[in-house]
Chain A
Amino acid sequence: MLNLLSGFVEELRRAGLPVSLTEHLDAAEAVHHIPIEDREALKYALGATMVKSASHWHAFETAFDIYFARGLGTGEDGTPGPGAPGQGDESRLPGDQRGQQGGGAMDQTTPEELAALLYQALLQGDQPLMRVVARQAVTRFAGIEPGRPVGGTYYLYRTLRNLDLDAVLARLVGQAKREREDEGDLSMLDERLLGDEYRGRIDQLKKAVEDEIRRRLVEDRGAEALAKSIRKPLPEDLDVMHATRDELATLQRALRPLSRKLAVRLARRRRHRRRGPLDFRATVRRSLSTGGVPVEPRFRHPRPAKPEIVVIADISGSVASFARFTLHLVYAIQSQFSKVRSFVFVDGLDEVTRFFERADDPADAVQKINTEADVVWVDGHSDYGHALGVFFDHFGGEVTHRTSVLVLGDARNNYHASEDWVLAELRKKARHLYWLNPEPKDYWGSGDSIISEYGRHCDAVVECRTLRQLERFVGDLE
């Protein structure tokens, strides 16, 4: 058990979770206190001792499913889940389920029977039956080839495509509708609720299929090898530029609390950086209760200068997903500081402060900016030089020694003129000038990237591809 745990901890660390030695020891200690055959309890014990952030839970769960595979968790043979991946085999179905289906060789169910079973399982929300169906479906459709170093995404896709869950969902909802027809029409609300109910069950089924595929892959290649194939970066380490659609959704969810966090932190730093000067009056007044001894000095509230922030963001296609995030970030900043002005550009430039001021949902604002902002001047390919020039002509006068200027973009200028004098001028006038670049540092300066030309004039050029980097940058911001 301890060996297995060590392997598991190793895997967590490889996946990026910061598991310290103390936490490892705690986990080992915790395992002693729980009934060993209880897989759920084991999961929560390990989670509580080693996973200290909700955003890491998914990575933990994935690793847990691999190292402490289910299939053994149904408990029919009494062996504990841990240590046993590789023992599961097709014939070990829960007895009652086998009975229901008239027993016999499971591999010989026809697709029609399988479809009927699937329908039943979903209709009744019958979890054991779902697992049986998942097992069957994987055997029949996934076509797992032993020894291939894959994570199973393709197997999952193949299985689900054959099950055609969308059609099943439509049938389920249709049937429910028909059943209720005599009670009067099904309202929109009821229909939606029914749909959600069945969608929830289908998600359970998908999960069961995924579990089953993972279990077989573990059997095939061992936990460690599989864990390596399906390891994914943690949400804060995802590369914003190259995230898949699912990953983007994860990021989007992670971003909202992050922007709130950043806002709180920025506000707090501003308020608590220093104590103000001694408030003599209040101190004397206070000292009266201690017989004239000034025991507790009183201080005035500090009055930090109000920083002004100007954000200039590239929202062209090449950095579209990055831009979306920076816009969310701008929203967070804007709700926190009194004077924030934001501009977006492709080859033309437009001020978008107004969109943020009116919206109370950042997603709306981003949506509006993408559709309404007037950012195309000639052909809709980024032209940093022209955009910066326009900015300087129209708004250059408003940049003062209190202003921090942030430029967001990859500095891929399509071989237009760089006009980097604008940045030189801005640097002279502004308090700080930062450039956030969503490209990996290795690519800077390759092709039409002229980041070095611009970077010369900036206080700092920061690589900013992940939430973690973004967070660090804003944390250091003053």
Chain B
Amino acid sequence: MTTTSDPLGLGNIGPARFDSIPTVRDGLAEVGYLADEGIAGVVYLADRLAKPVLVEGPAGTGKTQLAKSVAELTGSRLIRLQCYEGLDESKALYEWNYRKQLLRIQAGQVLAESDLGSGPDHHSPTWAELEEDIFSEDFLLTRPLLEAIRADTPVVLLVDEVDRVELETEALLLEVLSEYQVSIPELGTVQATRLPMVFLTSNNTRELSEALKRRCLYLHIDYPDIDRERAIIRRKVPGISDELADQVARIVRSLRTIDLRKLPSVSETLDWARTLVVLGISSIDATTARESLNILLKYQSDIDKAAKELLSATDA
């Protein structure tokens, strides 16, 4: 069996997860994610090069779903770190359990004073012992990043919407992403025993730092082409006829060529297709299209514009 390359000198980092690009693609298709050449290729490389993947692209094109599907495919646990403004070390990496530490110190004092635990060899703990005690793993609260590093089962780490954290907080991720380790001053360095697969998603609300980008493979997931979209619709919407799926895909493609404020995403396309199926519509005509456009488009100005571009002449 081929093993993953070992640029970090980490030694035992586990066997390669995938044999070839087609196996990635077929595997993902089995768990219901239809990947194109690019997506499958990058996932494959991420495994081989032991690098995180930074996934960017418009909303609703399956960025988060990709990580979930890879986890399902490889039988790994998915650990998710949802980013938000104000995320800090204690929420992302680890935190000392202050309350428990305090309790431990107080309990020590009480025990010493009341001599409850006294035996012949009893002595109250020295400061060094106490320090060692309260800064041990028992008092450590692991947060997603540390948890992913320490896991001894296979793990997929998903850092969602990484563009939401501040530039400074991004630096927290760097050690984890490039060395797969976390340094805790009181404990030392925790090194990954099995490399997790890491996915970072970004909606591109700001430019990520060069340092972060350099450490990642970059994957841009755009709206799918018509064949893939049709396949996705057929796959995800049970009971849809081939003609309807084809029609939906083609209408959505045409919509995406119009200059709209928010283009219809894949998930909205699926919602629309599902609605049509539920309503028992077998073929889309201008009226049905007009009445259900609000599922695809979220701004009134967009709806008006689309109706005008695609449907208007039917009124005349």
Contacts and interface: CB of A to CB of B under 8 A. Distances in A.
B251 A34 contact: no
B220 interface: yes
B21 A41 contact: yes
B51 interface: yes
Interface string A24-66: 0010011011110010110011011101111001000000000
Contacts of B259: 363
Interface string A203-236: 0000000000000000000000000000000000
B261 A45 contact: no
Interface in B170-194: none
Contact of B261 (A38, A54, A360): A360
A33 B49 contact: yes
A348 to B, nearest CB: 30
A26 B42 CA distance: 13
B253 interface: yes
Given A34-B21, A57-B220, A261-B206, A44 B254 contact: no
B246 to A, nearest CB: 10
B45 A48 contact: yes
A48 B312 CA distance: 43
Contact of B205 (A20, A57, A192, A261): A261
B42 A290 contact: no
B115 to A, nearest CB: 22
Contacts of B218: 47-49, 51-53
B49 A257 contact: no
Given A26-B49, A54-B220, A188-B314, A193 B251 contact: yes
A91 interface: no
Interface string A239-267: 00000000000000000010011001100
Interface residues of B, number: 58
Interface string A273-285: 0000000000000
A100 interface: no
Given A33-B48, A260-B205, A295-B98, A44 B37 contact: yes
A217 to B, nearest CB: 27
B210 interface: yes
A187 B288 CA distance: 13
B185 to A, nearest CB: 17
Contact of B219 (A22, A48, A272): A48
Given A41-B41, A52-B213, A193-B250, A188 B207 contact: no
Nearest to B219: A48
Given A264-B206, A290-B99, A189 B251 contact: yes
Interface string B48-66: 1101011011000000000
Nearest to A293: B102
A396 interface: no
Nearest to B289: A189
Nearest to A364: B301
Given A188-B311, A361-B261, A265 B41 contact: no
Given A261-B206, A272-B85, A196 B286 contact: no
B153 interface: no
Interface string B197-211: 000000011110010
Contacts of B42: 44, 48
Main secondary structure of the interface of A (DSSP, over half): helix
A455 interface: no
A289 interface: yes
Which of under 10, 10 to 19, 20 to 34, or 35 or more describes the interface residues of A?
A: 35 or more
B277 interface: no
Given A188-B313, A260-B205, A290 B45 contact: no
A374 interface: no
Nearest to B217: A48
A187 B250 contact: no
Contacts of A360: 261, 299, 301
A48 B49 CA distance: 12
Interface string A343-385: 0000000000000000011011000000000000000000000
A33 B311 CA distance: 49
A29 B7 contact: yes
B20 A35 contact: yes
Given A188-B314, A192-B310, A196-B250, A26 B51 contact: yes
Interface in B292-314: 299, 301, 309-314
Nearest to B299: A360
B136 interface: no
Contacts of A44: 37-38, 41-42
B102 A22 contact: no
B166 interface: yes
Contacts of B41: 34, 40-41, 44-45, 48
A289 B314 CA distance: 69
A447 interface: no
A23 interface: yes
A182 to B, nearest CB: 17
A448 interface: no
B102 A187 contact: no
A394 interface: no
A92 B54 CA distance: 40
A197 B102 contact: no
Interface of A: 18, 20, 22-23, 26, 29-30, 32-35, 38, 40-41, 44-45, 47-49, 51-54, 57, 187-189, 192-193, 196-197, 200, 257, 260-261, 264-265, 268, 271-272, 289-291, 293, 295-296, 360-361, 363-364
7 contacts: A47-B38, A48-B45, A53-B207, A53-B218, A188-B310, A196-B254, A272-B85
Nearest 6 Cβ contacts at the A-B interface? A188-B313, A44-B41, A52-B213, A48-B217, A33-B48, A54-B220
Given A47-B38, A272-B86, 13 more contacts: A20-B210, A30-B48, A40-B41, A41-B21, A48-B45, A52-B214, A53-B218, A187-B286, A271-B85, A272-B166, A290-B99, A290-B102, A360-B301
